[in-house]
Structure 1
Amino acid sequence: MHKVGFIVFLFFITASVSAQQIHVLDADSGNGIVNAAIFNQDKSKTAITDFDGRSDLSTFNPNERITFRHISYETFQTTKAQLSKKGNRVYLTLKPEQLDEVVMSVSKWEQQRKDIPQKIASIDARSIAFANPQTSADVLQNSGKVFVQKSQLGGGSPMIRGFSTNRLLLSVDGVRMNNAIFRGGNVQNVISIDPFTIKNTEIIFGPGSVIYGSDAIGGVMNFFTQVPRFSYTDSLTFSGNTNYRFASANSENTFHTDFNLGHQTWAAYTSFSYNDFGDLRMGSHGPESYLRNNFVIRENGQDALVNNENPKKQITSGYNQINFLQKFRYKPNNIWNYDLGLYYSETSDYSRYDRLIRPNDTDDGLRSSEWFYGPQKWFMGNFQITKQGKGKFYDGVKLTTAYQFFEESRNSRNFQTLARNTTLEQVDALSVNLDFENKKIGDLQLYYGAEYIFNKVRSFGEDRNIETNEVSRAVSRHPDKSTWQTFAGYVNASYQIKPNLTLLSGMRYSQVWVDAQFDDTLFDFPFDEADLITGALTGSLGISWFPKADLQITLNGSTGFRAPNIDDIGKIFDSEPGSVVVPNPDLEPEYAYNVDFGIQKNFNDKVVVKGAAFYTYLVDALVRRDFTFNGLSEIEFNGELSNVQAIQNAAKAYVYGFEFGAEAFMTENLSFVGNLTITEGIEEDSNGTDSAARHAAPTFADAHLIWKNQKFKADLFLNYNEEIAFEDLALSEQSKDFIYASDKNGNPFSPSWYTLNFRSQYQISNALKTTLSLENFTDQRYRTYSSGIVAPGINLILGLGYSF
């Protein structure tokens, strides 16, 4: 009996001691954090974590406020009672400046940021949560370093250093998102990425073709989503988040939930988001030409033009969207790692707003009764195997295979007509990437690999009578069953010449095949097929030099290319009123030659100033220009005599500019952050005619005054865009007078604008936080350059997040 009592006594003593043991872990990797300081409010009780991140809290009272602090991590406060409910685990999050130390996008492996000569901007999950954006396009725009164009509310086409659309590359978890029908016009694919799932976004400024191949001329936007977290105890762990957001400018209601299930060797992460956006309300103070004075409705079997009772409401701009992400991770040991990701995004129908406000030829009504995109769908299955450890030719190897499916459609019907024209595109995309890391050969570090991508395009066209539902075949936008594929190999090297001087160099060769068969049943093509085989050799060479510990100088030269895709060689569409774009199978790749110089100075860790200058020369530029089709400069298309155009290697382009950034830490709580970007671009046609580059954004800037403490963060900030005068607009923009304001001569121009904004976040408890923002609180009415939809007026945003 005494033995039993003694055993019971020992059991309770052991349980009591183990209950005092806590484990302090990195929130991303799950690894233990050594030398984390633990103390109470008056610091009369202290402790420190050991090599495994463990410590004993037996000296602390159950409801006593305890602080966890480490030089590299954000400070965290809780109580011992709350910790016991969380399994006696504390997850600390790296400070932003520590996150910036390592980047993935330049070599597909972790590299020290200080060794990279290219300009790279990182946006982490905490910054995204604080900004509380509606879409991932807004994530980029909120950075202050990327300009975003919007043709409609369901949109967002980034512009970087004078390039956009198919001259920028999107990547999700290392898989290329650009496909064979990415166009020169604005693309909206970035909104398929759920901002709630983004762990980190890295933006490379300038060509990234050595690693990413075709399209990476102006830059690369690499989105890394959340990674499933393992359990670092013997038991299964469960955690998650749920969020709600409301925005007044478009009556947004967004719901999100995610959860993580973790074991010692496997983990699963699940995320679901639903967005419902109503019609967007513009501001009160600005050009009257931006107002939505009328719109078209269908009543009694007729189209009718009716007055808008609230001209600031951009009718039929609303839409909804769902996003789903499921990830699995299996790590049987420290050598092998297996990751599977399943991604799905789908929008409802959403109007292309700029087409709905186009006036008719007599300027007394609207041209279109309907113009909307069908659901934008994206699915990706991504499987990745990573092996770490010494091999004969590598220290790390990564095999990434992915399948993607894209679907989009365009639906339009002219005023007082019954035929709705629909074109539907579907793309199947397969990709295989094999990437190697050789950590050290003396002071040389090598990264090399190979890539294969295959795209198949399905394209259909129809005309449907909206009354009788009678369907007739119509010309498809692209040649059906066309294919685009590429195979490439690359090598990238980092050489540390001195401890303060690093050289980064790389080379890639890409071969691209395009095959398209043209069906002349509905359209009299003068050719039967396009069979292109093109190759491109690209390279980069740059240095990162620290002449002093607080001064960094970078210099980088690189080349980029874009091979013609299916959209370039084979599309048929009405690009603008009275014009039609026709196929052109005789195309060659366009090449970019870039140089940029950067400097960064740190003044006693109180002020950091950054500057960069860049120049890019684009040759054989693929641009839309007048053309002849079967010897004709005009043909009939969709019942209208239209000027013939085609994509051609008909121009050169010069893009240059300056980028400035500053951070000032005035006190422990108060800081300042600002950015300024100046871009100039010129296109020169083969006949020597100069014009402004279409995607050279106006000068834009932001300035933030930020105050924060342990629980509260507030940001008062200004956004600014400079004017683009009529003579400085691209030729293609000068004809779009319906989206621009008019100057004193009656010519279209893009006015300057500014907004004053406030956002805040309050941590009510370790589990509950709330955000409150008031954007554009002076209620300015403005339209960003080249955008179809007018930006939001005064906008109250409320958010609530709960972690469990």
Structure 2
Amino acid sequence: MKHLLPVTVAILVSPYCCAQQFTPDSSRVVGLSEVVVSANRIREQKKDIPQQIDVLTARQLRLHNPATMADALQNSGWVFVQKSQQGGGSPVLRGFEANKVLLVVDGVRLNNAIYRAGHLQNILSVDANSLERVEILNGAGAVPYGSDALGGVVSLYTKSPRLADSTGFTVHTTNLLRYATAAREKTAHTDFSLGWGRWASFTSLTATDFDDLRKGRNGLSDYPGFGEVKQYVARQHGQDVVVANDEPNRQKFSGYRQLDLVQKVLFQPRAGQRHLLNLQLSATSRVPRFDRLQTYRNGALRWAEWSYGPQQRLLASYQLELTRSSGLFDVLRLTPAVQAVAESRLVREFGKERRDENTEKVRVLSTNLDLFKNIGRHELRYGAELTHNKVRSLGEGVNVVTGTVVPIATRYPNGATYATAGVYAAHHWEINEHLILSDGLRYSGVRTKAAFDPRFFDTQYRAVNQRSSSLDGNVGLVALLPAGLRLSGLVATGFRNPNVDDINKTFEQTNGTLIVPNPGLQPERVVNYEAQLSETIQDRLLVSVTGFYTNLRDALVVRPFPTPDGQTTATYNGRTYTTVATVNTGQARIQGVSARTQLALPAHLRLDGTLTYTQGRDLTADVPLDHIAPVYGRAALTYQHRRVTAEGAVLFNGRKRVSEYSPSGEDNLPQATPAGALGWSTLNLRTSYQLTPRWAVQAGLENLLDTSYRVFASGISASGRNLFVTVRFER
């Protein structure tokens, strides 16, 4: 921790989250005066909300110039991100990860029936270049969002079409070309908005090509060679061979390609009525699972192939928005949507001719109805949500020599369904000019149905038909005190219903056990307590400290599990395995503190800082809880004046000792050093120069000292020194 002391000192005098999107000078402090949407699905001032919310604006995204959405979250310093491969990124909020963090894009939930509990890469299916803002709601969010929002909600908002003003027609376009050295990344992006009096269109297209990622060269003197790729498997003359890597810092087979498209069409026939069609497509090439390709067994590389097959996310939504005063609402928003998600796993052991190909296709239908009504000092938000997931799961064994195809076990029961329904009401009361009360309730029901195929895994049960329900609520109070002080408190409950992945998955784990279905699962639940104290000096200073405590019960964890006939082993794909399953266990505790500061300085300078500490423990087993990140944060100094914007930032993580790892295996201890995850910090420089009103050049140097490090629980080393150059054209 010694090397973190200077950073920690800097944070004590540094800034809070973000500047308003159209603020002309970055040295101005905006802080709690921002308008946010994610807390109650309606626009409201952040200072009125008792829950901690971080906001990443379009201007911050532009300056950070991230390669992926996962990088955008990590570079903010507010979110911890785990990676198992370069084409990955699993956000962690308050000790919760993967299917316990809800992802939402343009008001539509991305979490589906097969979101798993380990580590996810689905955040990458949203293009950072297409966004106008990101809101990170920390803590339980069950009232507005229902299941899955245990650790929080990441709400992503893509850019909107712009109607013309009195001139009758407008055109706005943003274009960029980016090259970065660490992964030899090449990115091309264009978006344009066409606006008329009643019609408007927005189109965004981004294509990215990542080569193999180069790790840092310096540091880790106590563990020389850690993270180096000394050899890899190649296919030569129809045979698998092990090849020596002549560039060991280049992480072989970590590159991939991605294409993202957003198309929106807006029709506003009259004031107070809007119709919006929203189409999104994200598609990748095969994404190699780097950590698996570097897995050794008996001193030799185990896998010849291990990749996620080409992945695709297609979303189509329609939104009707009515803004007029009536007895039932002042604002009504109806959002039906359909999503089609396809992903696969392509796995072949070294020396074997059969490649196992498991493909999952999920169709998601959803409808959200949200209404807002203002009655004097009272504001009422209420609505309903319906979702229906259908899972198609296919399994094929493909002989890479002869092309012969045979059926193999599917990962999930083919045709499984997962459906949810919920209604909610939230109330906001401005008691007086100093006190604001917020409260809300939601009732949710969930049903899961699946039938098992006895050809591959024969059990005493043939089907699952599970129902569950949950009643959740929150109550919070905000006190706006004299001299810019603000005090808030919140109690909120949340739940996550077991989905198809939890209940019905059959899958071989890397430790040699077999996960089998468990139809008896019940929802896991949390009660979250948080309090926040902040001090604001308008346009100059914001200091905010939030403490949180979460009680988790009936947590879903993997444990030894006998089959229905009492056996502790099972035969699967011709092999015998010890059986495990996802089960409900007792209680766990998560607690921590986070700080955000923002300070405007003379000479067009601003200091920003974040710091988050989390501690979690499984109280039933009396062991550390998984997914608990070490202390992490960011400190940055930003300069903006006229044509120049420049930033120097330190991003850092603390140490995670072996004794602090969860025994569940989710924290990937074998991928860490013998001492666990080591603390690290990187120095990052970014600048932007506006050549003309339309042309701009950006450049940056990330990980300036070329530090070699691996983020806690990650299976791939982070980028080494990375020089990027971007050319932008806007009009």
Q: Which residue is equivalent to 1:709?
A: 641
Q: Which residue is equivalent to 1:199?
A: 132
Q: What does 1:27-426 correspond to in 2, within 5 Å?
A: 74-75=23-24, 97=30, 101-285=34-218, 286=220, 287=223, 288-360=225-297, 362=298, 364-426=299-361
Q: Which residue is equivalent to 1:542?
A: 476
2: CA distance between counterparts of 1:399 and 1:604? 37
| Structure 1 residue 605 displacement after superposition | 4.4
Contact 2:700 2:725 in 1 (8 A): yes
Q: What does 1:652-671 correspond to in 2, within 5 Å?
A: 652-671=587-606
Deviations 1:21-56 (A, max 9, x none): xxxxxxxxxxxxxxxxxxxxxxxxxxxxxxxxxxxx
The answer to whether the aligner puts 1:761 opposite 2:694 as a matched pair is no
Q: Which residue is equivalent to 1:729?
A: 661
**SS of the residue 1:139 aligns to:** helix
Contact 2:668 2:715 in 1 (8 A): no
The answer to whether the aligner puts 1:472 opposite 2:422 as a matched pair is no
- % identity of equivalent residues: 37
| Structure 1 residue 193 displacement after superposition | 0.4
Q: Which residue is equivalent to 1:39?
A: none
2: CA distance between counterparts of 1:110 and 1:579? 48
2: CA distance between counterparts of 1:335 and 1:735? 50
1: CA distance between counterparts of 2:520 and 2:293? 34
**SS of the residue 1:331 aligns to:** strand
**SS of the residue 1:560 aligns to:** strand
2: CA distance between counterparts of 1:666 and 1:459? 57
| Structure 1 residue 713 displacement after superposition | 1.2
Cα 1:99–1:652, aligned 2, differ >3 Å: closer, same or farther?
closer
**SS of the residue 2:337 aligns to:** strand
Contact 1:154 1:350 in 2 (8 A): yes
Q: Which residue is equivalent to 2:705?
A: 778
**SS of the residue 1:210 aligns to:** helix
| Greater Cα shift, 461-470 or 274-283 | 461-470
CA RMSD between the two structures: 1.7
Contact 2:182 2:721 in 1 (8 A): yes
Cα 1:665–1:95, aligned 2, differ >3 Å: closer, same or farther?
closer
The answer to whether the aligner puts 1:742 opposite 2:669 as a matched pair is no
2: CA distance between counterparts of 1:100 and 1:227? 22
TM-score relative to the length of structure 2: 0.94
Deviations 1:482-514 (A, max 9, x none): 111011100000001111110110000001011
Deviations 1:176-228 (A, max 9, x none): 11001111011111101011110111110000010000001110000011010
Cα 1:72–1:216, aligned 2, differ >3 Å: closer, same or farther?
closer
The unaligned stretches of length 5 or more in structure 2 are: 1-19
| Structure 1 residue 638 displacement after superposition | 4.2
Q: 1:579 aligns with which of 508, 513, 527?
A: 513
Deviations 1:282-329 (A, max 9, x none): 000234221111101111222111211111011110000000110000
Cα 1:75–1:336, aligned 2, differ >3 Å: closer, same or farther?
same
| Greater Cα shift, 780-789 or 93-102 | 93-102
**Count of matched residue positions in the alignment of Structure 1 and Structure 2:** 707
Contact 2:272 2:324 in 1 (8 A): yes
2: CA distance between counterparts of 1:642 and 1:793? 40
Q: What does 1:363-762 correspond to in 2, within 5 Å?
A: 364-439=299-374, 441-603=375-537, 605-629=539-563, 630-684=565-619, 688-733=620-665, 736-743=668-675, 749-762=676-689
1: CA distance between counterparts of 2:295 and 2:495? 35
Contact 2:33 2:47 in 1 (8 A): no
Cα 1:96–1:151, aligned 2, differ >3 Å: closer, same or farther?
farther
**SS of the residue 2:123 aligns to:** helix
Q: Which residue is equivalent to 2:3?
A: none
1: CA distance between counterparts of 2:511 and 2:301? 12
1: CA distance between counterparts of 2:610 and 2:680? 16
TM-score relative to the length of structure 1: 0.86
Name which structure has the greater RCO, CA cutoff 8 Å, separation 6+: 2
Contact 2:182 2:719 in 1 (8 A): yes
Report the structure number with the largest CA radius of gyration: 1
1: CA distance between counterparts of 2:315 and 2:615? 37
| Greater Cα shift, 335-344 or 630-639 | 630-639
2: CA distance between counterparts of 1:75 and 1:203? 24
**SS of the residue 1:731 aligns to:** coil
Contact 1:246 1:253 in 2 (8 A): yes
Residue 374 of structure 1 aligns with an amino acid whose one-letter code is G
1: CA distance between counterparts of 2:371 and 2:39? 13
**SS of the residue 2:124 aligns to:** helix
Cα 1:516–1:249, aligned 2, differ >3 Å: closer, same or farther?
same
| Structure 1 residue 95 displacement after superposition | 7.7
Residue 200 of structure 1 aligns with an amino acid whose one-letter code is R
1: CA distance between counterparts of 2:541 and 2:645? 20
Contact 2:627 2:666 in 1 (8 A): no
Deviations 1:768-801 (A, max 9, x none): 1111110111111111011111100000011111
Deviations 1:622-650 (A, max 9, x none): 11111112422223434543321101002
1: CA distance between counterparts of 2:480 and 2:275? 38
**SS of the residue 1:756 aligns to:** strand
| Structure 1 residue 689 displacement after superposition | 2.0
1: CA distance between counterparts of 2:649 and 2:578? 46
| Structure 1 residue 736 displacement after superposition | 4.3
Cα 1:604–1:237, aligned 2, differ >3 Å: closer, same or farther?
closer
1: CA distance between counterparts of 2:667 and 2:425? 45
Deviations 1:653-698 (A, max 9, x none): 11000001211212141121111100011123xxx42221111111
Contact 1:726 1:734 in 2 (8 A): no
1: CA distance between counterparts of 2:21 and 2:241? 63
Cα 1:735–1:199, aligned 2, differ >3 Å: closer, same or farther?
closer
Q: Which residue is equivalent to 1:81?
A: none
| Structure 1 residue 742 displacement after superposition | 1.3
**SS of the residue 1:583 aligns to:** coil
**SS of the residue 1:676 aligns to:** strand
2: CA distance between counterparts of 1:314 and 1:733? 23
**SS of the residue 1:105 aligns to:** coil
2: CA distance between counterparts of 1:322 and 1:259? 17
Residue 712 of structure 1 aligns with an amino acid whose one-letter code is V
Deviations 1:68-122 (A, max 9, x none): xxx995449xxxxxxxxxxxxxxxx998828952111111111121110000001
Cα 1:701–1:94, aligned 2, differ >3 Å: closer, same or farther?
closer
Q: Which residue is equivalent to 2:17?
A: none
1: CA distance between counterparts of 2:603 and 2:625? 44
**SS of the residue 1:689 aligns to:** coil
Contact 1:358 1:738 in 2 (8 A): no
**SS of the residue 1:138 aligns to:** helix
**SS of the residue 1:741 aligns to:** coil
| Structure 1 residue 264 displacement after superposition | 0.9
The unaligned stretches of length 5 or more in structure 1 are: 1-70, 77-92, 744-748
Q: Which residue is equivalent to 2:16?
A: none
